[in-house]
A = this chain, B = another copy of it.
Amino acid sequence: MKIFLQCLPCFARQAVESAEMSTDDPEMKEKIIRAALRKASEIPFDKSPPHMGKEIHRIIKDLLGDIDPYRDLKNLYNKKALDLYPRMKEIVSSADDPLKTAARLAIAGNIIDFGVSVTNNHFRLMEVIDDTLKRPFAIDQYQEFKLDMRNAKKILYAGDNAGEIVFDRILIEEIPEFKQKVIYAVKGSPVLNDVTIEDARDTGLAEIVKVIENGSDAPGTILEECSDQFLNAYNEADIVIGKGQGNYETLSEFCEKCYYLLKVKCPVLARDLKVGVGDIVLKKQEPFS
């Protein structure tokens, strides 16, 4: 998905929020935001929105060094999500279709996204879960998904955010032979609240499946910036699961074997997917013409 004009206010908001998260120094905040706005004024519109998230993070890195400003929040959300893990396992095990319920829970986890807005800090997690369990899919390709999860030999799961990773684990554990089939990819270095290798270790996911870094610092999966290790796994996979908005935005024009699981959080994406803001989506990539 390309950058639309309507993405630009969101980039400015992301710059302000990231600056606020990264430093208490007002002058430094100002520097970050001014540099981000300059970058936004030049960003090519044939890129996808996560390019801008990456640029903001690089500006912060240039000015403040190799920091991980969202680390404490990521730890907090991992912990909150882990607290809910036993309850989510119960919900799944008592469901008529555990894989489908697990897919819904994985989408519920997609709410935890400071990239979209830090005001989401204040959501009540169980309410989000209950809502997502009841809400009909706006795009529902679950039947194909179920079949492909059974038949695929290798599945690459491109993770999204910290906290959310625990919800991803719930889904992964319902995929037949997940220990053999699934590789989970985290970001190559910290960007926003995106999942890193530390989160995969802290939440126990690294103990149940192979976890690799994608080699990139973008809040999505920009293939040309990913490592050979990631690209090998990507090429060898029969199915790729692109989790969350950032992965959809970066992969939807390139990945022929992708499924996207996400909650639609912005009007630009809603228009692209022809659904509403707040809708939940389990979508298979359409064939490229």
Q: Please list the residues of chain A having a beta carbon within 8 angstroms of any beta carbon in chain B.
A: 5-6, 8-13, 15-16, 19-20, 29-30, 33-35, 37-38, 40-42, 45
Q: Say which residue of B5, B9, B10, B16 sits within 8 Å of A29 (CB atoms).
A: B5
Residue of B nearest to A4 (CB): B16
Contact of A37 among B8, B19, B30 (CB under 8 A): B8
The answer to whether residues A6 and B11 also contact, given A40-B37, A41-B37 and a CB cut-off of 8 A, is: no
Contact of A34 among B13, B15, B41 (CB under 8 A): B41
Residues in B whose Cβ lies below 8 Å from that of A41: 34-35, 37-38, 41
Contact of A12 among B8, B34, B35 (CB under 8 A): B8
Ranked nearest first, the 4 interchain pairs of A and B with the lowest CB-CB distance are: A37-B41, A9-B13, A9-B12, A12-B12
User: Told that A5-B33, A12-B12, A41-B41 touch, could you supply 11 new A-B pairs with CB distance under 8 A?
Assistant: A5-B19, A5-B20, A6-B16, A8-B15, A8-B33, A8-B37, A9-B12, A12-B37, A34-B41, A34-B42, A38-B41
Tell me the smallest distance from the CB of A212 to a CB of chain B, in Å.
Answer: 35
* A42 proximity list for chain B (CB < 8 A): 34
Say how far A139's CB is from chain B's closest CB, in angstroms: 25
- CB contacts (< 8 Å) of A20 on chain B: these are 5
Q: List 22 A-B contacts (CB under 8 A).
A: A5-B16, A5-B19, A5-B30, A6-B16, A8-B12, A8-B15, A8-B16, A8-B33, A8-B37, A9-B9, A9-B12, A9-B16, A11-B12, A12-B37, A34-B41, A34-B42, A35-B41, A37-B37, A37-B38, A38-B38, A38-B41, A41-B41
Which B residue sits closest to A11, measured CB to CB?
B12
Residue in B closest to A14 when the chains form the complex, CB atoms: B9
Bound-state CA distance A270–B20 (Å) is 19
Expressed in whole angstroms, the minimum distance between the Cβ of A277 and any Cβ of chain B is 12
A114–chain B nearest beta-carbon distance, Å: 15
A8 vs B15: C-alpha distance when bound (angstroms): 9
In the bound complex, what is the Cα–Cα distance between A37 and B15 (angstroms)?
13
A16 (CB) vs chain B CBs: closest residue: B5
Max chain B CB contacts within 10 Å: which of A8, A33, A34? A8
Cβ contacts under 8 Å, A37 to chain B: 8, 12, 37-38, 40-41
- A30 close to B16 (CB less than 8 A): no
CA distance A71 to B230 in the complex (A): 54
Taking the closest CB of chain B, its distance from the CB of A265, in whole angstroms, is 16
